[in-house]
Chains A and B, each alone.
Chain A
Amino acid sequence: MSNLLEKKKMELLTPALGLFFWTLLVFLIIVFMLKKLAWKPILSAIKDREDSIEEALQTAAKARSEMNQLQASIADAKKEAAAERERIMKEAGEMKLAILSQAKKDAQAEAGRIVDDAREAIQKEKAAAMSDIKSQVAALSLEIAEKVLVKKFENRTEQEALVQEYLKTISI
């Protein structure tokens, strides 16, 4: 009995040729078959998926940074536009003031000219009127003098009364 046990114990540690052969055969078939049928498609599919995820992440990051850049440029543009607006407004204000003052100046000049013209016209009218008056006065004086001279030779008192009367009729 103990002999049998010893033998079995030894058998346990002695590789059997048949099992060695079959294991080698089966395992090598498994290695080559699964490499072709399973591991290559599985590993490449996993790799493809990982690559696509990686790519998607990178694309997202890129899009995000692009968006940030875009936002920054939008803010810049906004700032620029605001500055431009400010400048334009300022310019417009300045221009308004300039136009106003120019208009004022022009108006004043025009007004001055008109007043001068008016004054000149008035002076002319005045002068004309004066010369008219003068000529009328001269004519009247001559008339009066004529009448006086006519009367003088009739009656002194009547003459005087006549002068007085004429004088009353004259209204300048």
Chain B
Amino acid sequence: MRYVNSGVRGFWRVKNFAFILVFMTFTGSWASTVDSVGQHDDHQTVGGHEEEGLTTSNMSSSILHHISDAHEWHFFSVGETHVSLPLPVILYSEEYGLDIFFSNKFDHHTHTYKNYKEEHGHIILIDDAGAPVMEAHLLDLSITKNVASMLLAFIIMVGLFTSVAKAYKKRPGQAPKGLQSFMEPLILFVRDDIARPNMGHHYARFTPYLLSLFFFIWINNLLGLLPGAANVTGNIAVTMVLALLSLIITNVNGNKSYWMHILWPPGIPFAVKFILIPVELISILSKPFALMIRLFANMTAGHIIIMSILSLIFLFSENGTNAGAGFGVSFASVPFAIFLYVLELLVAAIQAFIFTMLTALFIGQAMPEEHH
């Protein structure tokens, strides 16, 4: 037991250091993002009113830009030099067929390539004159920043858990060691505190899915907290997939008693049944809908709050003209942002837990024990 504790302590020491490092780069990266997006938006306001520097409006838009999906992975900008990773763009349209190219093909000023135009993270079709083709349907299956981050999570998960599985095979029946001893309590937590209490004797069938779900959400949440990283679990398409799978698994495994309670609730006056049935039918959808919104909103809100707090520094400095004010505000902003960042680490785990817990609960409720 002693060596496990010392191992965990060592892990946290390293983690603390890594956290400070990450936070420092995060702050720096955000500053450069605000800067670049501010300029970027200035360029976009063509032929209209010139907006000088940063305002609350373009600050909001740059925050939204930061948490939105993108076709390239932008790390930071120094002046006019943007350090970013180009990602594959995969497009399909009836007019032009399948087109695959890297996102750095888009022209830096016009944001166009061939008949495609990148507009605020979206790709649209344009005609030869450069005007958007409104009625065209363009299927965008690009490896976006979120997809790339998800693939990173995929690699981490497969690497991590196959190596842990190997450790179990290598030392059967023995006490866990190293990484294995770090992961085992988490695996046991999912099995004994999420799956078992909610699903009774059915738990063994769903534990593998719940483990994948829990670690997928958690690892993506944590990756999203890294500087310049994608906000994967804060994207509604991602949470929609996870919620949809919860919906499908719940209803596919629903037993007779579950469907009876929805379609013909027992022990209820005849007239009341007609009120209850629609309510129950709605609840089939509302439960996973709540799952989808909860994860999305929690992760997105965390990112928005941290960035808003840090943006105060740049707003108060009035685009560098009042550096003293910005410096002063940073004394309040930075500790508060650090506090929120630590809170977000907690939220990352809690939201993974809640999503998995509720999925387990819904599946468990769909297969109640038959009482006669």
Contacts and interface: CB of A to CB of B under 8 A. Distances in A.
Interface of A: 1-2, 4-5, 7-9, 11-24, 26-27, 29-31, 33-35, 37-43, 45-46, 48-49, 52
A11 B212 contact: no
Interface in B108-144: 120-122, 139-144
Given A26-B150, A26-B154, A46-B188, A16 B140 contact: yes
B4 interface: no
Given A19-B144, A23-B150, A42-B187, A37 B58 contact: no
Interface string B75-98: 000000000000000100000000
B168 interface: yes
Contacts of A49: 172-174
B341 to A, nearest CB: 21
Given A19-B144, A30-B154, A46-B184, 15 more contacts: A4-B120, A5-B60, A8-B64, A8-B120, A12-B300, A17-B139, A18-B140, A18-B141, A27-B245, A34-B212, A39-B208, A42-B168, A43-B204, A45-B168, A46-B191
B51 interface: yes
Interface of B: 41, 44-45, 51, 57-58, 60-61, 64-65, 67-69, 90, 120-122, 139-144, 146-147, 150-151, 154, 157-158, 161-162, 164-165, 168-169, 172-174, 184, 187-188, 191, 204, 207-209, 211-213, 216, 235-238, 240-242, 245, 300
A24 to B, nearest CB: 5
A9 B216 contact: no
Chain A interface, DSSP helix/strand/loop, else mixed: helix
B150 A35 contact: no
23 contacts: A1-B45, A5-B60, A7-B120, A9-B64, A11-B120, A11-B121, A16-B140, A16-B144, A18-B90, A18-B141, A18-B142, A18-B147, A20-B240, A22-B141, A23-B147, A26-B147, A26-B154, A30-B212, A34-B208, A38-B165, A39-B207, A42-B187, A45-B165
